[in-house]
Every structure is written in structure tokens, then in C-alpha cells.
Chain A
Amino acid sequence: MDARTPVAATEPARRRHVALLVLFLLLVALPAIAQGIGQPFLIATFTRFVIYAIAAVSLDLILGIGGLTSFGHAAWFGLGGYVVAIAAFHVQDGSTLLGWGGSTEALVVWPLAVVVTALVALPIGALSLRTSGIHFIMITLAFAQMLFYLFVSVKFYGGDDGLSMQRRNTLAGFDLRGATAFYYVCLACLVAWTALCAAIVRSRFGMVLSGCRQSERRLSALGYPVYRYKLVAFVLAAAGAALAGALWANAARFVSPDMLAWVKSGELMVMVILGGTGTLYGPIVGAFALLGVEQLLSGWTEHWMLILGPLLVLFVVFARRGLWGLVGGRS
């Protein structure tokens, strides 16, 4: 037959499956490990890693799979967080928002965060996707900054200072105060979201999205209205980031405009690139790596960015498929 490599070579695929299984088992065992080595604070640390991983996977859906370099992804993360914090604020305050007294039930406010964010992302995506390339990067950044300044200026919800939550949401009446319980809830969200994204990538929709990245011109010639597909992907990715933001608000019991800042968008991009653009699982590893290195180095020197910067350069130059590419060995 033909010596050229088939698209889905089986050997690296098996290695990726093994790596994924190992990663999953480690995350499941983490609370036990943390307790075992007498470092229970690691549970809270990894809760945050897991939350960022959700946001990074959602960014990879449009950036890595769809080839849409959105530089405003943190806006959806922050918006999701604010929805949860504002709902809790009204419960604490006794005031109402458009006649609604707020809620602290996760089954109400988390889906609400996702839906509200998706509804905001829809018109912003519809406008942004009229452009492409560098213009798309700039317009997504501009919209994110607009949302950032919106929350800075709304003094009622804390403005610059942010907004605190007295306690975490309850999940179907169940208390999420315990670090381990909350960790597992976040981990379940990561697994569910990543599995959903993986299914989408394999589906007919995913094939079209991947085609958009490779040649939009070809897709149009095949009769696909590419704009609509990109818009749906944009909104889906925003929804995933909103879920992460809702979890983050609970983890920190605090939201602030910093969650929407362009620096945060940049961090999410770094996680995706470090982990492996377009690999979907790589950004999880990327999030852990970036936050882990940050945690380790910042305990040692406050100039940790000086070390992380060159590391990133090395990755971009020598490991195009990121950390996940080192595992999967895909070209």
C-alpha cells in the first residue's frame, strides 16, 4: 500500500489515551494524596487549576479547532462569575434586580450564568466575526475591554473593588463549603465539558469548524455558510468560559473586574498554546503547568515572569503542539 502516514496513526493515539487516563486518575485521587502528604491546602489550589482548565478548553474550541484567535475570552469568564455573585448579592442584600430577588442555588445560577453569557456573546460574536485575522483579535479585545470598564463603573456591584459572596452556592440544597466536595464538583464540570467538546469536535459540526481553520475558501466552495458555524462555536466557547467563571466566583467567593481584564485573556491563550493548540486536552495540562509554575516560582521570587517568559518562547519555537504534543507525538 502507501507508505505515507494515515491521519490518525494508532500508536500516538494509544499514548494519548493512556496519558488522558493517568491525568484523570491523578485528579480523582488528588484530595486523598493532598491529605496523605499533609498538604490539604493543595485541594483548594487544584480546584482553581481545574476551573481555569475549563476556560482554557473552551478557548481551544474556537482558537485551536476553529482557528479564531479571540483575545477577549476572559470577558465570558468574568461575566459568568458576575452573574453568580450578583445573584448572591441580591439574596444577601434583600434587594431585587428587575423584580428578581437573586438565588444562591447552583442549579439555578450556574445555568443562568451560562445562558446570560451566551446571550451577550451572540451579538458580540456576530459583529466580531464580520472581521478576520488581526482585526478579529483587536475587536474581541475591544469588546472585552468594554465589558471590563462596564463592571469597573457599576459602583452598585462594587465597581473597581469587586463583589464578595458571603458563602458558596448550594447544589440542589447540598452545601459546597467543604473543599473536597467543591473540588469534585469542579472536576465533574471539567470532565463533562471536555467530553462535550470532544464529542463536538468529532461530529459533523466539528468537521466543519476544523475545516474553517484549514481553508475557509474551500468550505464556502463546498456550500457551507461558514459565518454561522463560526458564530455558534464562538457562543459555545463563551458558554464554557462562563461555567468556569461561575465556579471561580464560588472558589474565591469574590469577583472583580480583573476577571475580565485583557491580562486574563492573555493567560488563557498562554495555557492553550503551552498545552497544545487544537488538542483540546492539552490546554488542561497547559493550565496546570502555567498555574503550577506560577505557584512554585512566585514562592521563590516575585520576578517569576522572567523565568516563565523564556520557557514560553522555547515552547512556541520547539514544541508547536505544546505539552500534549510531547505526549501524543503528533506532527
Chain B
Amino acid sequence: MPSSEKNVELDELAELERGEAPSGRAAAPDVPEEELEVPEDALGTARRLWDAARGQRWRLVVAAACSVLYVAGSLGATAYSAGLIDLLWNNIQSTFETGAPFVVTLENGALQILTFLGIWTASWAAYTAQVLVMASFAERLNLGLRRRIGEKLSRLPLAYYDAHQPGDTISRATNDLDKVSEVLQRGLLQLLIAVCMVGGAVILMATYDLMLTGVFVVFGIMASVATKLVTARTLKLAAARQAALGDLTGRVEEAYSGRAVIKAFGREDASLAEVAEAAERLAETSGDADFVTNAIAPAIRLLMRLCQVTIGLLAGGMLVMGQISVGVFQAFFQYVMQASEPFTQLALTVNMLQGALAAAERVFAFLDEDEVVPDPAAPAELPEAVEGRVAFEHVRFGYAPDRPLMRDVSLVAEPGQKVAIVGATGAGKTTLINLLMRFYEVDGGRITLDGVDTRDLTRAELRRQFGMVLQDAWLFEGTIAENIAYGKPGASREEVEAAARAAHVDFFVRTLPHGYDTMLSNDAENISQGQRQLLTIARAMLTDPAILILDEATSSVDTRTEQAIVRAMEAIMENRTSFVIAHRLSTIVDADLILVMEKGTIIEQGTHAELLAAGGAYAELYRSQFA
């Protein structure tokens, strides 16, 4: 059966096909992700990150040392402040006994206040050094990893691309690495600081009073347990929100894609009601999820405040009894406060760290993917003028090694011949192209170009001989002229226009406000699928290759335009080999060789007349189209 996607013309529905693309995008980055992910090999991943940080490691070492200094300084300043307050209070009291008012002077406290400021300043200097040193650490590390991803992309076999959603790969290079940098930027040192701060504060508290310290530790443990519990709940609610969002997204995408139908059948109100209902469900779930997510911190803070009240009452009693001094009372409290904040962060930071390691693991897994076989060290060379004789010799191939599709395929395309490939959708017509272009490697036998085994050539040399127009009209963000000149960057404007004229797209381009300088963007909805296809045809024409591949290229163009294009192609391709995949048998009856494919292999080959006479699959297919 002919493709249902055929004959889509300048129509809003055609544009909707491209509009569907955003749905394939990785989880919308604006939705907070709160999955709790655990890395499989935390230690191994950490070691690889450490390797990746080569050249940056000194930053980490300096920052860690500075963090420890900072913690020591701030704990020390608090300890010093205890003596300072006591000193001031004693001086004030003794001055009061003389009846004179008290004024701070260098002799009676100012020096100590300045010393206190000095300790803090040292601590501040350490902190500042740490944040400045770390400001570029994570992003430099990420830049290195992203570059490796960029290089990896050009070394991955097509099999990888065919098996993975683009969004999946994109999110590794963006979201996953952002998670890593967020943690490396702040989380890691925060964790270090939090641990040191809590540990140091507790030890110092213990030097003042063991019982009060015990109270703090008990509350601290309660806070940790509470955080764990609430986090589990958060994940559940986040999942519910995600589900509601998915439902709403599905509905809106469906409705936007089917706009014409909704309007034609006057279903605006019904559709609005459906969307409103889904939006309501999302509002409910996201209200809950946001509440719990944002309630963790204040809940922990409440626990710590209760801790402070308890300690305040106990310590206040001790103060009244004269068991501790004013300075100690206040210093103790400062420690409680200093240690309380990190406590609320500790559990969350640990979760973040785990998530980041899991993200890094995904990035490394991507970088570990199998790569294409490298080009031969001493590649064969094609003659100056390639004739374009293509031969398959006993080719064996399967996308999965255990499921071979082609077992023993041989065929010859003589220079200048037109080879047509037909077969139902999914019969494996693009497989042939994949092998010709070496997007996939054959498992057995060989493919030759002008008698040279294509595996002995570099891929670049091989592919230079081909011009290709693919099913999905790929254009990049840039002007129309740049897109047409993609295969020949130095092409003059005249050459570009000539190619466009030959592809019957020149008139259309001229109707655009900026003509050939019109910028194409990903969601350029002013260019229909058919026009995009014509632009890719112009692009292929400009490179003037030895062999042409038309992979369902004209499926979005009507019969007559297709005829015109094929005629233009034929003129350019005179005495050059071409492979054409088409659904309309009418366009290929004059082919020199017709390959009939089924289940991934070639089941018949010959000319139109030969195949009709044979009365096989081709004859059957032909009759079904022209009943």
C-alpha cells in the first residue's frame, strides 16, 4: 500500500507533522525532576570524573583545603566570641561599679573585637578563595565532556542513532551534565563544609557541656530521619505530577495537531473542557508536589527550633545557677545555629550527589558506546573520474547479528543505469542505501564501486561520490542559500539559484520576504514539507555527484512536480548511476533495473517487462496499484 504520508502539500496539516517533533524532546527541562537515582558504580564513576578533571584537580584540592580553613575559622570565631562577650560584660560590670558610663576603648575590648573581626576575615578569605577557585571548575570539566560527546557523535555508527531517541542523547549532553556541574559547583563542597561544620560544632559544644550537646545530637538524628521520610513522599508525588503533565501534554499535542478537525466539526467547547479537566488534574497534583518539596526545609527547621528552645531552657537554667557564663551560653547557641542549617541540607545534598553520579554514569555510558570501524590506514583510491559501477557480491547482512535479513544478495548497477527499489513499507528499502553509503557494514560478501571494495576506501572518499535526498528533509538553522550550498560551501549565488531552479523551488524561494537569505529555523512553519524536500533536492543537485540516491524523496510532492524533478534529475544524471526508491510504480517503469524487496532482502530483480512476465511479487504489487 502506498505511504499514507504521501501527497501532503502546502497545508496546515503538513506543518503539524513537524509540529509533532517537540513531543519527542526529552522531558521538558522546566519541570523539576525529582527522581531519586542511584548510580550503579558510584566509585568507578567518581574515579572517571576525577580522570576527566585532569588539569583541574588542583582547584578541587585548593578548594577543599580552603573549606576546612573556613570551617575552622568560623567555629573558632564563635569560640572566641564567647570569651569576648564575657570580657565585655565583665568590663561593663566593673565600670558600672565605679558609677561611670562604659565606652568601648582599645584597652577594654576594642582590640578583642578587632581580633574577632580578624578571625572572621581569615575565614572569609578562605571561603572567597574557595568559591572563586571553584567558579570555573565544573563548567571546564563539563566543557571537556561535552566536547567528547560532540566528537563521539561523529564516530558512532548509524545503528546507535537508529536505536536511540534524539532527546535521550541530547539530555545526556545538557540535563545530565548540568546536574553534574550543579553538584560539583556547590554540592560537593557544601557536603564537605556541612560535615566539618556539624562535626566541629558538636565537638566544641561537647567541650562546654555534654548534656546540652546530647540534646542537640538527638534532635539532629530526628531531623535526618524526618528528611529521609519526607523525601520518599516527595518522589511519589512528583511521579503523580509527571503523569498528569504527560496526560495534559498528550491532549494538547493531539488537539493542536487535529485543530482543523476540531474546528470543522465545531468541537471547540468539548475540546476546551477536556483540556481544562487535564489542566485541573495537573494543578491538583502539582500543588501537592510543590507543597511537600518546599515543606521539607521548614519542617526540619521547626525541629531544630524546638531543639533550640529545649537547649535555651536548659542552658538558661544553668546560666541562672551560675553554672555557665553569658559568653558560653551565647556561643553554645551560635554553634547550635551554625550546625542546624547544614543539618537540613545534609540529606538533600546526599540525594543530589547520588543523582549527579547517576547522571555522570549515563554520560560515560554514552562515551563508551561502540564506535564505527576506523578507516583503513592505507585506503584504496578511486580513479579520477568515477564511472559509477556499483556491485553487490554475495552480500550478507542483518541489523542484529542473530537475525540476518540478506543472506546472499548480488546485483550490478552499470554506470549510468537507473536502479529502482520497490517494496512495501518496512520491506527494507533503506537497508540497501545504508549498505551502499556504509552507514552500516556488511556481515559478509562485499560491495564494490568501480571494482574497489568500499571497505578499502575511506568513508569520506566513498560518500563523496554520492548525492542523497532523504525521506525526512533535514535542514539546519541557517539561510536557505546556506542550506542549499551545504555540500559545496564555496558555491556562488548563481550556482545556488541554478540548483534551486532545477529543483523547481526557485519560484517559491523568491516569494519569501528575504528570498535566499530567509533564515530557516527548526520550527520554520512557513516552509511546507514539500518545499523542504525540494530544497534538499536542490542541495543534492549542487554537489553534482557521480551517483544519486533518491530515498522516497518525492513522497511529499505531487505526481507532476515529481515528473518534472525526475526529468531534471535524469538530465543531470545522464551517464551516471542512480538509485530511486519510490512508491509510485508509474515513475520507475522505465528503470534499467528494478529491485523488489521484502523482509529486508531482495526477492526479485529485473526490468519492468521481465518482472511482469515472471508474475511474481512485483506483478502482484503492480496489479494492486492499478486495479
Note whether A and B form a binding pair.
Answer: no
Interface of B with A (CB < 8 Å)? none
Interface of A with B (CB < 8 Å)? none
